[in-house]
Amino acid sequence: MANNERRYVIIGASAAGMAAAEAIRQSDSTGFITVLSEEPVQPYFRPMIPFLISGKKSVADMTLVGQGPYSGTGIDVRLNSKAEAIDTKNQTVTVQGGDLVLYDRLLIATGSRPYIPPEIEGTEAAGVFALRTLTDALAAADCAAQADHVVMLGGGLLNLKAAFALLERGLDVTLVVYSPEVLSQLMEPDDAVLIRDALNKAGLKIMTDCSATHILSQAGGVNGVLLNSGQEMFCQMVCIGKGVFPNVNFLEQSDVQVDQGVVVDRFTACNAANVFAAGDVAVTFDPITSDRIVTGLWTNAVEMGRCAGYNMAGRTTEYTGTFGILNATQVADEPFVSMGIVHTSGTDYETHVFSTRNTYRKLVFSEDGERLVGAVFVGDISHAGLYRYVMREKMDVAKIKPFIIKHTLHYGHLLLP
Amino acid sequence: MAQPKEIFVRLDRCMGCHSCELACAVEHSQSKSLYSAISEKPTPQSRVYVEWVPPDNRLPVLCRHCEDAPCMHACICGAISRTEEGVVMTNADKCIGCWTCVMVCPYGVIGRHLQEHKAYRCDRCPDLEIPACVNSCPTKALVYRTVDEFSKDVRRVASREMLSGEGG
Ligand SMILES: Cc1cc2nc3c(=O)[nH]c(=O)nc-3n(C[C@H](O)[C@H](O)[C@H](O)COP(=O)(O)OP(=O)(O)OC[C@H]3O[C@@H](n4cnc5c(N)ncnc54)[C@H](O)[C@@H]3O)c2cc1C
């Protein structure tokens, strides 16, 4: 089939799917690009949905097409179109309702959905949320309007963002964290001290080293949470932020290889011919450790999606992986960046920690001290991208190490020998 | 479309006088005058940074408006886009101050305006014919040229240096 009528089908219209669509359009101006979305709304910037809960932004403020690099030119997004199965022999996708869509190149970009721990009882009650979609956020905002006290299960970044959105609405918010400290996936307890202080000051109640066993409810919905300590807390709303897992159910009957996520090669291609995968649903790898990982990062989903798009359109492009941890944000007026290998207790990494009253940093080097492999910056995150670059390129740090440790590295150090 | 001009740095020329930083901050103030800019809130910020590399090299660093701008693709709220002139621009109204762009910029040239909680960077002075930093540079370490013009310049200088090298 001539390139100019190639049919590109993308399942999932979010970071990976839409980035891929743009990349395809850049490389192939005439092929047909169809993006199937299960969701009832136009593509949007998923990380912004907490602003619907705080009320600081509207749905229109989060629209993806027409913003940043997303032109949407010649990209047909079909809403309410859940892919139910794929047939890689006949190269078709079955869409809910029975439609068959033919493809020459297929991208699986179905992302992930919240993990709801089965050991917690009562999670189906009205007033229990796991924030993932714009629809979830609107429902949570409605529920919050009737609530006084919210219990959040999980101390990850997503729950912290949601917690702040609820605090901004004037609700009482209690965070129940199984780990000894918040953000345990992104840093170690000692790294999180300043952030914890800021969260406390902002009025968030945090209970660490404990977990919920039951969500209690009556006819009207949630009315409390029972903790493993036996303590009962009254509340009218519960948010679960216990991680995510890839949306791969619809691939069960297919021959696409799944191992947690969809397995791809260095060019984002699956084992089945003409099928690619990118984003949260795909298994990727860490360029430092070479570990196979499944991530939950917008930045990676876009990068991998673009790479897949180029490959689908015939422009061979190697995907270079992503750090499993690559997060920047600001919670409670405290900016932080965490990237690469940051969990160092009990390891032999060469670690340099420096803290002041309002800043903290940890620089992690390989055991031989020759490579930078991880960094945490709290309070002052300036030039963070340079450190990421040094990590990613696996640069020999011999000449620049003092600047890295002192957090005074600048581009000149990399440019001029 | 004609090739757009860009800001180039001639590494051998910078004396580290910081004139460009001052001119940049003033140009990005409300009053556009040094005297009033100093007391303005939010405090005007320079988007060019004169760095020192030991033992005695100095160089101005500023947004390259990368062809494959990592900041633009990484932005989680669509605040960064490219204008027709090729300028990678942060829309302050849309910016939510999550600092993802700061985390991915390999040049370290995206600043954080703490009072406004917004990211900022070189916008190539859209209101000026010649960007303020270039205009203020007393040694012409900063020049405003198209890529073609600049590479021609570089070749010309190189050949001149070769000649003088031969002569000396
Ligand atoms: C509140 C919140 C804040 C976040 N903040 C950040 C942040 O600051 N930085 C960061 O890097 N990341 C952040 N993330 C994570 C980031 O949003 C995800 O990593 C990113 O959206 C992944 O993109 P994706 O395209 O792979 O998948 P998704 O965004 O999950 O999109 C997949 C899409 O596919 C659809 N879909 C699924 N199955 C089917 C099917 N069978 N048929 C059709 N459609 C289907 C889904 O409905 C969804 O629309 C945040 C996430 C949330 C929820």
Segment A366-409, tens digit of pLDDT = 999 999 999 999 999 999 999 999 999 999 999 999 999 999 99
Judge whether A224 lies within some domain.
yes
| Domain at A10, CATH number | 3.50.50.60
Q: What is the pLDDT of residues B15-55, one digit of tens each?
A: 999 999 999 999 999 999 999 998 999 899 999 999 999 88
Residue to substitute from B11, B71, B73, B105, interface A, most A β-carbons within 10 A: B73
CB A36 within 8 A of CB A93: yes
β-sheet bridge partners, residue A227: A212
The response to whether residue A112 sits with its C-beta less than 6 Å from ligand 1 reads yes
- Show Cβ contacts of residue A145 under 8 Å, excluding neighbours closer than 6 positions: none
* Structure tokens that stand for A368 in this block: 């031989």
Judge whether A40 lies within some domain.
yes
Omega within 30 of 0 (cis) for the link into A40? no
| Domain at B70, CATH number | 3.30.70.20
* CA distance between the termini of chain B: 44
Judge whether A17 lies within some domain.
yes
A349–B contact, CB cutoff 8 A: no
How many structural domains comprise chain A?
3
The response to whether residue A111 sits with its C-beta less than 6 Å from ligand 1 reads yes
**Secondary structure letter of residue A56 according to DSSP:** S
ipTM score for this prediction: 0.95
Q: CA-to-CA distance for B161 and B157, rounded, in angstroms?
A: 6
B-proximal residues of A, 62-121, CB under 8 Å: 62-64, 67-70
Q: Are residues B1 and B57 in the same domain?
A: yes
Residue to substitute from A63, A299, A325, interface B, most B β-carbons within 10 A: A299
| Domain at A346, CATH number | 3.30.390
Judge whether A305 lies within some domain.
yes
> Which chain B residue lies closest to A331 (C-alpha atoms)?
B98
How many structural domains comprise chain B?
2
B12–A contact, CB cutoff 8 A: no
Q: Which amino acid is at A249?
A: N
Q: Are residues B16 and B57 in the same domain?
A: yes
Q: What is the pLDDT of residues A326-352, one digit of tens each?
A: 999 998 889 999 999 999 999 999 999
Q: Residue A91 in 3-state DSSP?
A: coil
Task: Determine, for residues B75 and A411 on separate chains, whether the beta-carbon distance falls below 8 Å.
Answer: no
**pLDDT over threshold 80, residue A68:** yes
B1–A contact, CB cutoff 8 A: no
Domain extent for A157: 128-242
Q: What is the pLDDT of residue B166?
A: 40
Q: Are residues A234 and A259 in the same domain?
A: no
Task: Determine, for residues A385 and B78 on separate chains, whether the beta-carbon distance falls below 8 Å.
Answer: no
**Closest Cα to atom 20, ligand 1: which residue?**
A298
Task: Determine, for residues A330 and B82 on separate chains, whether the beta-carbon distance falls below 8 Å.
Answer: no
Q: How many angstroms separate the alpha carbon of residue A112 from the centre of ligand 1?
A: 6
- In A229-387 the beta strands, taken as DSSP E runs, fall at 232-234, 237-240, 244-246, 258-259, 261-263, 275-277, 282-285, 292-293, 326-331, 334-340, 350-355, 360-365, 372-378
Mean pLDDT value of segment A102-127: 97
Lowest mean pLDDT, pick from A307-311, A413-417, B77-81: A413-417
A315–B contact, CB cutoff 8 A: no
Q: Are residues A255 and A299 in the same domain?
A: yes
Q: What is the pLDDT of residues A251-305, one digit of tens each?
A: 999 999 999 999 999 999 999 999 999 999 999 999 988 899 999 999 999 999 9
Q: What is the pLDDT of residues A306-330, one digit of tens each?
A: 999 999 999 999 999 999 999 999 9
Model pTM above 0.90: yes
State the smallest CA–CA distance between residue B101 and chain A in angstroms.
Answer: 8
Q: What is the pLDDT of residues A170-227, one digit of tens each?
A: 999 999 999 999 999 999 999 999 999 999 999 999 999 999 999 999 998 999 999 9
Q: CA-to-CA distance for B146 and B143, rounded, in angstroms?
A: 10
Q: CA-to-CA distance for A277 and A261, rounded, in angstroms?
A: 9
* Exposed/middle/buried for residue A243 (C-beta within 10 Å: 0-12, 13-18, 19+): middle
Mean pLDDT value of segment B65-92: 95
CB A214 within 8 A of CB A226: yes
Of B52, B94, B103, the CB nearest to A339: B103
Task: Determine, for residues A384 and B96 on separate chains, whether the beta-carbon distance falls below 8 Å.
Answer: no
Which whole-number Å values give the CA distances from A30 to A2, A17, A25, B164, in the listed order?
Answer: 10, 18, 8, 54
**Closest Cα to atom 33, ligand 1: which residue?**
A12
Q: What is the pLDDT of residues A9-31, one digit of tens each?
A: 999 999 999 999 999 999 999 99
Residue B146: φ, ψ to 5°: -80, 165
Domain extent for B138: 1-63+124-168
Task: Determine, for residues A385 and B73 on separate chains, whether the beta-carbon distance falls below 8 Å.
Answer: no
